[in-house]
């Protein structure tokens, strides 16, 4: 589901356009510091994407020719100093990665860049893509076990829209546990998608089926009634134009991209899954305990009510004692 901004924008305002035109390490740091995603302006890596992937990334990963060409075509990236969030089984690193897109169409670029970052670097990667037509936030999606799933925000094209997103992100640093932190970040971004097989579009689903038209023609022959006006409407009636949503655009961009998937087992995903299972088991255990406690309380309450009734009615008390003693 795409996020609804309080005020839509078709083009970047001066603030975001200046961020793109004056893109630099300092500019990006100043832009992101109020978001709550960064602890400070310190950086872990500033340099070419190619060097980061092949020298700093996972050494056991394998990249195809299309991936290598894409990696080589991108300029410098900024990786801010990574931090850690806790799970019951260990720590999971998270980091913010920024890049400027000056060559490709923005949506395909964002998806490809995010997938390759996730392939090269374990942990929770939050990407910030600065482009001429807007800023987009993306991150890894752990809670969907489709390979290389991701979350992606809608286009941010004004300072006001950026402030709205920052309002939702501002308390992210308060979360110590990774599950809570991850849930908070992904809720703020709001829009989720993943690579899935797309069925071919045989026809416009809004048009009536040919079977319906054939049925009308058969009824015409059998009854002598004229349904030509309805048959003509099926072919020529102008329906309301379908407005392409942001979700449609993301799905279309993802559909035609080259396949980007990791060849390695992601230990961070295993940690996340184990943490989620333990948390779920704990919640079930707590729920069962509360239910049992409530049942015991109800039983005690019933006994107390019954005892009170017996004390108030001596005849009932005598009958009760007789039954208890088998008389």
What are the backbone dihedrals phi and psi of residue 225, each rounded to the nearest 5 degrees, phi first?
-80, 155
Cα 188-194-195 angle, rounded to 5 deg: 160
d(CA 282, CA 231): 61
- What average pLDDT does the chain have? 77
Weakest mean pLDDT among 99-108, 211-220, 233-242? 233-242
What are the backbone dihedrals phi and psi of residue 107, each rounded to the nearest 5 degrees, phi first?
-60, -50
The alpha carbons of the chain give a radius of gyration, in whole angstroms, of 30
Of residues 223 and 21, the one with the higher pLDDT is 21
Under 8 Å between Cβ of 141 and 186: yes
Model confidence pLDDT, tens digit, residues 119-162: 999 889 999 999 999 999 999 988 765 556 889 999 999 999 99
pLDDT exceeds 70 at position 116 = yes
What's the predicted TM-score (pTM) here?
A: 0.65
């Amino acid at each position: 589901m795409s996020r609804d901004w309080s005020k839509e924008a078709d083009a970047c305002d001066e603030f975001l356009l200046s961020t793109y035109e004056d893109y630099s390490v300092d500019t990006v740091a100043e832009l992101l510091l109020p978001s709550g995603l960064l602890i400070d302006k310190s950086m872990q890596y500033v340099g070419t994407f190619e060097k980061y992937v092949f020298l700093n990334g996972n050494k056991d990963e394998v990249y195809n020719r299309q991936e290598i060409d894409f990696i080589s075509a991108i300029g410098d990236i900024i990786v801010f100093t990574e931090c850690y969030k806790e799970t019951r089984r260990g720590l999971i690193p998270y980091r913010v990665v920024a890049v400027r897109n000056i060559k490709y169409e923005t949506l395909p670029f964002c998806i490809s860049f995010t997938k390759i970052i996730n392939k090269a670097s374990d942990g929770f990667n939050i990407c910030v893509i600065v482009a001429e037509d807007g800023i987009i936030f993306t991150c890894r999606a752990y809670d969907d076990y489709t390979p290389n799933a991701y979350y992606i925000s809608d286009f941010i094209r004004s300072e006001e829209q950026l402030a709205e997103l920052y309002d939702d992100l501002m308390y992210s640093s308060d979360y110590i546990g990774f599950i809570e932190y991850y849930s908070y970040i992904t809720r703020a971004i709001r829009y989720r998608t993943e690579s899935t097989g797309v069925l071919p579009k045989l026809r416009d689903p809004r048009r009536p089926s040919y079977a319906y038209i054939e049925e009308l023609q058969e009824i015409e022959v059998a009854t002598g009634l004229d349904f030509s006006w309805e048959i003509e409407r099926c072919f020529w009636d102008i329906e309301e134009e379908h407005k392409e949503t942001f979700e449609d655009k993301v799905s279309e961009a993802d559909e035609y991209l080259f396949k980007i998937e990791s060849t390695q087992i992601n230990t961070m995903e295993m940690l996340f899954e184990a943490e989620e299972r333990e948390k779920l088991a704990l919640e079930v255990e707590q729920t069962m305990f509360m239910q049992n406690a409530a049942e015991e309380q109800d039983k005690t309450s019933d006994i107390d009510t019954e005892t009170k009734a017996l004390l108030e009615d001596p005849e009932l008390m005598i009958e009760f004692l007789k039954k208890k003693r088998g008389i």
